[in-house]
Amino acid sequence: MPVAIEATDIRKRYPPDVQALDGVSLEVEAGTIFGVLGPNGAGKSTMTRVLCSLTRPDSGAASVSGIDVVAHPDQVRRVIGVVGQKHGSDPDATGRENLTLQGEFHGITGRELKARSAELLQRVDLTDAADRLVRTYSGGMTRKLDIAMGLLNRPQVLFLDEPTTGLDPDARTEMWHDIEELAAHQQMTIWLTTHYMDEADKLASQLVIVDRGRVVARGTPDQLKRELSGDTLVVELAEADDGRARAALAGVDGLSEVAVSGRTLRARTDDGGAMVPAVLSALEGHRVPVASVTVARPSLDEVYLRHAGRAFEQAQSDSAEVPA
Give me the DSSP letters along 237-304. Answer: ESS---SHHHHHHTT-TT-EEEEEETTEEEEEES-HHHHHHHHHHHHHHTT--EEEEEEE---HHHHH
CATH T-level topology, domain 3-224:
Rossmann fold (3.40.50)
The length of the chain, given as a count of residues: 324
Spatial distance between the Cα atoms of 240 and 260, rounded to a whole number of angstroms: 9
Low-confidence stretches of the chain (pLDDT < 70) are 311, 314, 317-324
pLDDT at res. 320: 52
Question: Comparing 3-224 with 229-297, is the CATH topology the same?
Answer: no
Q: What is the DSSP letter of 133?
A: B
Query: Tell me, what's the pLDDT at 322?
Result: 45
Question: Is the dihedral angle over the CA atoms 212, 25, 148, 171 positive or is it negative?
Answer: negative
- State the pLDDT at residue 110: 95
At residue 317, the pLDDT reads 65
User: pLDDT digits over 253-276, tens only?
Assistant: 999 888 888 888 988 888 888 999
C-alpha separations of 254 from 115, 231, 258, 271, 304 in Å: 64, 11, 11, 9, 21
Whether the CA torsion 198, 318, 311, 248 is positive or negative: it is: negative
Q: What is the CB-side half-sphere exposure of residue 287 using CA atoms within 13 A?
A: 1
Alpha carbon distance 89, 134 (integer Å): 8
Q: Assign a CATH topology to domain 229-297.
A: Alpha-Beta Plaits (3.30.70)
Q: What per-residue confidence (pLDDT) applies to 319?
A: 60
Domain ranges of the chain: 3-224, 229-297
Number of H helices, E strands in the chain: 12, 14
Please give the pLDDT value at position 90.
Answer: 95
